[in-house]
Every structure is written in C-alpha cells, then in structure tokens.
C-alpha cells in the first residue's frame, strides 16, 4: 500500500453581490463616516439595517442616522487573530448597540487586554483611512470616554433631512474569500496515481458484478461495495465516443480544434477521458485504437495517439458507451 | 404537520470511528462501511430501500459535488430515489420522515459525513454567515459562541466552573478509544471559551435506517418510534437575537410534542459547553433527565453528521431498552440559529 497522496488545494471565489436599497445606503454611509439604521413599523431601529423586518417580513425603507458611539452588549477576547479578521493584534469581538439603535452590530474592539473590556462599556467607531463602502470601513471600535469627547465629526455629504441620500452610492460589494485545503484522493486513487506515475494503468474489480473500474474510486457505483482487487489494464484502448473542442480553454496550451475522447482501455469496463493527437481531428472515429503518449517525467499520459492496428468492432465496445 | 399520521421509526444506527483525520481515505471509503453496517443491522441492502437522503457540505473538504461521489457507496443502480441537503444529516432525516409520511416510501436510508480535517473548519464556517455585514470580518464559530457564552455569564446563567463541569461530563461519557479524550482546561481559544469548551475537530460518518409501521416491527423488536419532529430557524442577524435563550428550540420542541410527557434522555447537539446551558433551559430539562449519555458533540464532532448522530444515539438507547422516551436535538448555523427537535419512544414491554 503506497503512502496516501495529498496535495494543497486552494479554493478562491471573489463573490460580487448587488445590494438592496437599505444595504446600499448603509454601506455608502460608512464610506461617508455616517452610520444609518432602518426603522421597523413598530418603531425599532435596526443597526446594521436590513431590507425586511426580521419579525414581520415587511419591506422597510425608513432610514435613520444613529451615532458612531455606543455600548457593548456582549464581548469575547480573541487572543490569536486569524487571517482576514479586522485587527492583527489581540482584540475583543463585540456586539455594540450604537446610540439611537435598538439592536447590536458585530465588529472588533481594539483594547489593550481583556481587563480593559466589559459589558456596558462605552465605545466609538474608529473609521478606516480608506473607505470603499463596506463593513470594513469601520476599522474597529475603540474605548470611548463620554466625558472627554468633542462634538461628533459629521461628514459633509450626509443630509440630515434625508438620511441615506449620497452622491455616487455603492451598489455592490465584492467579497474575496479564500479557503485552503489539503486534498487527499483516498486509498483507491492513491494506488491508481502511484501506478500511473510508473506508466502502469490499474483499475479495480467489483467483487459482485466483476466490472473493472478505471480510474477506481474505491467503490462500485452499481453495487455499492468496495473494489479492492487490482487489475492492470491497457495500455492500448478504443475510442468509444469523442467530441471536437473548438474553443480554447483559459490557461491551456493546446491548439484548437482538438479531440477529447472517451477511451476504453483494454480490460476496463469504464471509459476514461483523454485527448487524441497524432491524427487530424476530423479523422478521429468511434472504434479507433489508441495508445498513450508519455512525456519525460510526467505522472500521467500527455495524450493518446492512434495505435497501428485495425479499428475495433462496434460490438466489442458498445456496452461501454 | 408535526405529529405523525403514520408511524415511522428509526430501526438502525451506525457510525464510524471518529478520528482527527482520515486523509488516507476518500469520503466514500469512510462512508461505505457505515452504510453497510446500518443496513446490516436490519438485514437489508440498498436495493431494499425506497428513499435515500444525505447531509453534507462541500465546503468542509473543498470537494465539489462530493455527495454525488458518496453515492458510489450506496450503489445507485438501477436508479434510486435520492435527495441531499447541504446541512446536517438530521435535516436529511427530517426529509426522509416526511417522504415516508406521504406514503411514497416505507423505508429510508439517511446518512451524513464530514471531513473537517481537509480544511480549517473555523475559516470554512465563516462562509455561512451574512455575506454583507459579517463574512468580511471572518468571525469564526468559536468567536461567535464566545459572545454567546459571555452573554450567559453576564446574565448570571452560568460561569466558567459550570462550563467546565459540562465539558468534563460529556467528555467522560464519550466513546472509549475515540481520538478525542478528556483534556485539561486548556488556554482560552476565544475567552470565555477554553479549549475544553470547544468541540473536537475530526472526520466521521453516520447512517440510520427509517421504516414505517409493520415494516419497522418486522425489522426491529423495539423500534424507536418518531412521535414528532419539528425544526425552526431564527434571524441571521446576531444582534437582533437574545443569545441567552433559544426560542426556536423551544418552539420546535413544543410542536414535536416534547413537553407532552417527560423524557428520560436527551441527546443535545451543543458543540460548545455554553450552548448546552441554553438548550437545557429552552427544553426545560430537569436533573432527572440523562443528558448526552453518548458524550455529545464535545466528544465527537464530525460536522454535518453530529446532529444525525444525536438522533441515532437516542434511538440506539431505545433499541437496547435504556430509554423509553428520548429527545434528540440538532443545530445548524451560528449560536444555535436553527434547531431541530425529535421525540422518540419505545413501546412499553
């Protein structure tokens, strides 16, 4: 049994999401150093504001400005900040009810240590230096001494009589997300890939239906039982069906048109995929006999090319289509 | 409808060993023996099953459409009637229960699996949050649970000593030989939660078999009858919720009939010690109730299977005569956002 294979796998998705009118006003407001809430029909002010009343599901659009100061309703000390979190040094996560709001907003609270944080403490927004219309326009909260405060700075663009009206409102947010994984293909595919690196193609036979699966995944999808009898197949095989690719894939250095085919290797009961070369694309046909072409140091065949033998009879591969 | 018009029972339960990592195995290689085990308990094969339903999340291991690969372990040919939920398998069980109630099926296979070891589950679970106001801050599940724990402590509902007791009791009850043994208090992960207050991270799978009426009686001499199931969800906005309570759990329990008669056992899906405090209150569990004899999510936490395991463990206790009426609970989302409650009963002998 070879050592299980693993490989790093990064999944990244830069989601762009359009904003509803309330979200757009709130996030544009943050850009302009103004915090907006939305008033529900029963008079509660929700911050952060939502498009629909969480209790009644009514559409709510009555925006109101609230203060950039507030009170901690609960908190948690984060001694080891993680990637993407608002601060790089230890901080408190806090739910903060801003003055004028009835609900609390989650963000980071910059404080020297857990002893400096308590429920009920007064805090204020620390604005990010560069603001784009995102929740991260609030860099974090910081402790706030009401006695010593100067009048709240107010952004010039906010219009007190019609809160939420700004020039050039943001209408979408792009939230990049990256997750890092260690991919492991499992026992069966480790055996397959290890053999393939030695230029041998192995399948696995189902103990119940006797079919040989290539590449094997450890289970017979028909019978639902483990396949563990290793069977060497190929190297030659038969094209069972194919398509002509006319559009170049991003990052793929293959001239179009080319042929991508299902190839039933000799001894296999399942066709695998491979590219066909060494023959004009319009001469590839069902039944064509092919063999793998390896390049130096590769762990898998680069492509398949015609083998020097007559085409296979349709009856020999019709069950594999 | 939450009280069953047709009698449906859990007749079999199986789970894998719970390991920190299973990187020598694919998900189907982890899952398949568990499916065979569950079906084997009642002498069935996948071909005898009318409906198959699973719960998992591709984000955990970063494998797109992993649930279709997992079906290789079922043997889905000739084509089977099948469904999948992208959440805990407890909700797959709910779907299967409804399917049987409609009369469209007499038997169902329900399974769930999670491979948290492939990624960093604290990062992965941030992606289920509100993408506008929360996800850009990457608040991880420990941070959110810690905010809830602090709120409970501030409200005088618990303290760190009481949380330590919850941790000790669950971990001591956990499966012997499992990868996750009781451990020392540990440092704060996110205060006030210490390592002992947080669930272990690991891989695993579970499966149950459901059957209706006479089929259930034929398959098991003491089926765990599902007397009711209900699930309820609260708003995603954390700042709107009272984190010291779980009205969704209480409502689900009411509608599942949990308060109609006392239960002797409760299997609670509380990944964090502080959440057991919230659930005990919402479910009005007194000292006479045996809570988490399996060790709960603090002993083994294969994310996406942990809730289904609660239903399976409660049923298994009824199967072996250790319980007559049990409550099983499953949760999803941050700070107990969504909650499912089932009431299971064994017949009086």
State residue B3's pLDDT score: 52
Q: What percent of chain B has pLDDT over 70?
A: 95
Q: With contacts defined as CB-CB under 8 Å, which chain A residues touch B75?
A: 220-225
Contact B304, B84 (CB under 8 A): no
List C-alpha distances in Å: A217 to A186, B69, B120: 8, 9, 25
Residue A265 has pLDDT above 90, yes or no: yes
Name A316's Cβ contacts closer than 8 Å, sequence gap at least 6.
Answer: A238
Interface mutation target, options B20, B26, B48, chain A, most CBs of A under 10 Å: B26
Q: Do B32 and A83 touch (CB under 8 A)?
A: no
Q: Give the range among A32-41, A116-125, B166-175 with minimum mean pLDDT.
A: B166-175
A12 to each of A173, A175, A181, B62, B124, how far by Cα in Å?
A: 16, 11, 11, 10, 12
Retrieve residue B101's tokens.
């109630």
**CB-closest option in B71, B138, B150 to A84:** B138
Q: What pLDDT is stored for residue B328 in this prediction?
A: 98
Peptide bond into A40 cis (omega under 30): no
Size of interface A-B (CB pairs under 8 A): 195
pLDDT band at residue A161 using 50, 70 and 90 as cut-offs: low
Residue B224 has pLDDT above 60, yes or no: yes
Rounded CA separation A158/A161 (Å): 9
A181 to chain B: which residues are within 8 Å by CB?
Answer: 61-62, 118-119
Q: How confident is the model at residue B18 (pLDDT cuts 50, 70, 90)?
A: confident
DSSP assignments along B40-89, one per residue? HHTT--GGG-SEEEEE--HHHHT-TTHHHHHGGGT--TTTPPEEEESS-H
What does the pLDDT read at residue A321? Answer: 87
Mutate to test the interface with B, among A113, A117, A219 (most CBs of B within 10 A): A219
Beta bridge partners of A99: none
- Positive/negative CA dihedral, A107, A112, A117, A123: negative
What's the rounded Cα separation, in Å, for the pair B318 and B347? Answer: 9
| pLDDT on residue A306 | 97
Residue of A nearest to B72 (CA): A221
Q: In angstroms, what is the C-alpha Rg of chain B?
A: 19
- Residues of B whose CB is below 8 A from A107: 137
Q: What is the 3-state secondary structure (H, E, C) of A218-270?
A: CECCCCCCECCEEEEECCCEEEEEEEEECCCCCCCCCCCCEEEEEEEECCCCC
Mark yes or no for CB contact B190/A47 under 8 Å: no
Helix ranges, chain A (H): 21-31, 187-197, 314-317
Strand partners, B13: B208
Burial of A268: CB neighbours in 10 Å, binned 0-12, 13-18, 19+? buried
Residue B260 CA to chain centroid, in angstroms?
23
Angle between helix B89-101 and helix B306-319 axes, rounded to 10 deg:
60
For residue range B101-113, list pLDDT tens digits in order. Answer: 999 999 999 999 9
Of A114, A173, A179, the CB nearest to B124: A179
- Provide the pLDDT confidence category of residue B319 given band limits of 50, 70 and 90: very high
What are the distances in angstroms from CA B158 to CA B152, B165, B242, B270? 6, 11, 16, 15
Judged against a pLDDT cut of 50, whether residue A158 lies above it is answered with no
Q: Are B7 and B225 in contact (CB under 8 A)?
A: yes
Q: How far apart are CA B120 and CA B128, in angstroms?
A: 14
Decide if pLDDT at B349 tops 80.
no
Task: Give the pLDDT score at B180.
Answer: 52
pLDDT of residue A155: 43
Q: A64-121 pLDDT, tens per residue? A: 999 999 999 999 999 999 999 999 999 999 999 999 999 999 999 999 999 999 999 9
Q: With an 8 Å Cβ cutoff, are B32 and A93 in contact?
A: no
pLDDT above 50 for B263: yes
Are B302 and B116 in contact by the 8 Å Cβ rule? The answer is: yes
How much is the average pLDDT of B174-187?
61
The average pLDDT across B123-134 equals 96
Contact A27 B131 (CB under 8 A): no
Reply yes or no on whether the pLDDT at B312 is more than 90: yes
CB contact (8 A) between residue B237 and residue A177: no
Strands A212-213 and A201-205: antiparallel
Contact list in A for residue B52 (CB cut-off 8 A) is none
CA pair distance A189, A191, nearest whole angstrom: 5
- What predicted TM-score, i.e. pTM, was given to this entire model? 0.94
Alpha carbons B145 and B160: distance in angstroms, whole number: 14
Q: Would you call A23 and B132 a contact, using CB atoms and an 8 Å cutoff?
A: yes
The mean pLDDT of chain A is 92
Residue A153 binned pLDDT confidence (cut-offs 50, 70, 90): very low
Question: Given the DSSP bridges, would you call strands B51-55 and B82-85 parallel, antiparallel or unpaired?
Answer: parallel
pLDDT at position B208, please? 98
CA distance A42 to A38: 11
Are the Cβ atoms of A6 and B74 closer than 8 angstroms?
Answer: no
Distance from CA of A76 to the nearest CA of B (A): 5
Tell me the average pLDDT of chain B: 93
Q: What is the pLDDT of residues B55-68, one digit of tens each?
A: 999 999 998 888 98
**Disruptive mutation site among A106, A135, A217, A269 for chain B (greatest number of B CBs within 10 Å):** A106
pLDDT tens digit sequence for A39-68 = 999 999 999 999 999 889 999 999 999 999
CB contact under 8 A, B72 and A219: yes
d(CA B309, CA B178): 15
Can you give the pLDDT at residue B179? 47
Task: Provide mean pLDDT across the span B338-342.
Answer: 98
- Choose among B24, B32, B138: nearest Cβ to A4: B24
- Structural contact between residues B139 and A93, judged by C-beta atoms closer than 8 angstroms: yes
Our CA-based measurement puts residue A281 at a distance from the nearest CA of chain B, in whole angstroms, of 32
Please tell me the distance from the alpha carbon of residue B2 to that of residue B197, in angstroms, as a whole number.
33
Contact between chains at A221 and B71 (C-beta distance less than 8 A): yes
Which of A174, A176, A181, A215 would best serve as a mutation to test chain B binding (most B beta carbons within 10 A)?
A: A181
Q: Which of A19, A41, A14 is nearest to A29 (CA)?
A: A19
- Tokens representing B11? 């007749």
* CA distances to A39, A134, B47 from A102, in Å: 10, 22, 56
What pLDDT shows up at residue B176? Answer: 53
Chain A residue numbers touching B149 (CB-CB < 8 A): 76
> B71: which chain A residues are within 8 Å (Cβ-Cβ)?
221
Identify the structural domains of chain B with CATH numbers, from first to last. 8-119+200-219 (3.40.47.10)
3-state secondary structure of B7: coil
Q: What burial class does residue B187 get, using C-beta atoms within 10 Å of its C-beta: 0-12 exposed, 13-18 middle, 19+ buried? A: exposed
- Between CA B138 and CA B126 the distance in angstroms is 6
Average confidence (pLDDT) over B300-316? 97
The rounded distance, in Å, linking the Cα atoms of A298 and A198 is 9
- Verify whether the Cβ–Cβ distance A77 to B190 is below 8 Å: yes
pLDDT digits over B78-98, tens only? 899 999 999 999 999 999 999
**Alpha carbon distance B129, B332 (integer Å):** 12
In this model, does residue A239 exceed pLDDT 60? yes
Beta carbons of A181 and B26 less than 8 Å apart: no
Which residues in chain A are closer than 8 Å to B126, comparing Cβ atoms?
A: 84
Where exactly are the structural domains of chain A? 7-176, 187-320
pLDDT of B1 above 70: no
Tokens of B191: 């205060």
Q: Which of B147, B244, B335 to mutate to test the interface with A (most CBs of A within 10 A)?
A: B147
Packing angle between helix B141-154 and helix B273-282, nearest 10 degrees?
A: 60
Token pair for A126: 């620390």
**CA of B193 vs chain A CAs: smallest distance (Å):** 9
Contacts of A78 (CB under 8 A, 6+ apart): A85, A90, A91, A92, A93, A108, B143, B190
Q: Give the mean model confidence (pLDDT) for residues A260-270.
A: 96
Q: Please name the member of B23, B27, B74 whose beta carbon is closest to the beta carbon of A224.
A: B74
Among residues of chain B, what percentage have pLDDT more than 90?
A: 86
| B262 Cα to chain A: minimum distance (Å) | 32
| pLDDT score at A154 | 47
Measured in angstroms, the CA of B118 and the nearest CA of chain A are apart by: 5
pLDDT for position B126: 96
Q: What percent of chain A has pLDDT over 70?
A: 95
Q: Which pLDDT score is estimated for A263?
A: 97
């Amino acid at each position: 049994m070879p050592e299980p294979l693993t490989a790093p796998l990064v999944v990244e998705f830069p989601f762009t999401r359009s904003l509803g009118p309330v979200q757009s006003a709130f996030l544009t407001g943050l850009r302009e150093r103004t915090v907006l809430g939305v008033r529900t029909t029963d008079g509660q002010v929700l911050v952060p504001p939502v498009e629909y009343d969480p209790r009644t599901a009514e559409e709510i659009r009555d925006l109101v400005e609230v203060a950039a100061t507030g009170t901690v309703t609960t908190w948690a000390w984060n001694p080891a900040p993680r990637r993407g979190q608002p601060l790089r040094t230890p901080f408190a996560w806090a739910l903060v009810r801003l003055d004028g709001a009835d609900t609390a907003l989650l963000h980071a609270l910059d404080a020297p240590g857990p002893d400096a944080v308590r429920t009920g403490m007064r805090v204020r927004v620390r604005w990010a230096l560069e603001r784009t219309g995102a929740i991260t326009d609030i860099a974090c909260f910081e402790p706030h001494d009401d006695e010593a405060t100067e009048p709240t700075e107010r952004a010039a663009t906010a219009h007190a009589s019609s809160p939420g009206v700004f020039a050039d409102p943001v209408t979408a947010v792009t939230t990049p997300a990256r997750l890092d994984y260690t991919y492991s293909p499992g026992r069966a595919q480790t055996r397959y890939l290890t053999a393939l690196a030695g230029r041998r193609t192995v399948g696995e036979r189902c103990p119940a239906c006797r079919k040989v699966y290539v590449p094997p995944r450890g289970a017979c999808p028909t019978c639902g039982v483990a396949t563990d009898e290793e069977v060497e197949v190929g190297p030659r095989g038969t094209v069972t069906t194919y398509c002509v690719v006319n559009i170049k894939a991003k990052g793929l250095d293959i001239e179009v048109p080319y042929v991508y085919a299902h190839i039933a290797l000799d001894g296999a009961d399942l066709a695998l995929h491979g590219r066909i070369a060494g023959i004009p694309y319009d001469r590839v046909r069902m039944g064509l006999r092919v063999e793998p072409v390896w390049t130096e140091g590769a762990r898998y065949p680069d492509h398949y090319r015609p083998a020097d033998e007559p085409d296979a009879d349709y009856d020999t591969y019709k069950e594999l289509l | 409808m939450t009280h069953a018009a047709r009698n449906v029972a859990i007749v079999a339960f199986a789970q894998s060993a719970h390991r920190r990592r299973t990187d020598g195995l694919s998900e189907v290689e982890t899952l398949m023996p568990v499916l065979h085990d569950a079906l084997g308990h009642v002498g069935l094969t996948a071909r005898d099953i009318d409906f198959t339903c699973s719960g998992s999340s591709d984000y955990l291991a970063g494998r797109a459409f992993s649930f279709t690969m997992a079906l290789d372990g079922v043997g889905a040919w000739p084509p089977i009637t099948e469904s999948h939920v992208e959440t805990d398998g407890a909700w797959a069980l709910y779907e299967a229960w409804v399917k049987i109630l409609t009369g469209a099926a007499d038997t169902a296979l329900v399974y769930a699996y999670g491979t948290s070891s492939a990624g960093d589950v604290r990062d992965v679970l941030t992606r289920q949050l509100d993408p506008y106001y929360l996800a850009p801050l990457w608040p991880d599940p420990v941070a959110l649970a810690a905010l809830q724990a602090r709120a409970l402590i501030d409200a005088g509902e618990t303290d760190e000593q009481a949380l330590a007791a919850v941790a000790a009791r669950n971990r001591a009850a956990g499966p012997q030989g499992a990868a996750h043994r009781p451990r020392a208090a540990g440092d704060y992960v996110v205060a006030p939660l210490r390592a002992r207050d947080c669930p272990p991270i690991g891989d695993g799978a579970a499966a149950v078999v459901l059957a209706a009426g006479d089929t259930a009686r034929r398959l098991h001499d003491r089926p765990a009858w599902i007397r009711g199931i209900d699930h309820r969800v609260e708003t995603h906005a954390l700042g709107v919720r009272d984190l010291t309570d779980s009205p969704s759990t209480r409502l689900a329990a009411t509608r599942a009939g949990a308060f109609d008669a006392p239960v002797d056992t409760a299997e609670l899906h509380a990944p964090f010690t502080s959440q057991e405090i919230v659930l005990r209150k919402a479910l009005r569990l007194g000292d006479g109730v045996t809570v988490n004899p399996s060790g709960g999510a603090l002993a083994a936490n294969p994310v996406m299977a942990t809730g289904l395991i609660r239903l399976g463990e409660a049923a298994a206790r009824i199967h072996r005569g250790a319980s007559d009426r049990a409550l099983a609970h499953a949760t999803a989302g941050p700070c107990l956002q969504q909650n499912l409650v089932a009431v299971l009963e064994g017949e009086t002998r």
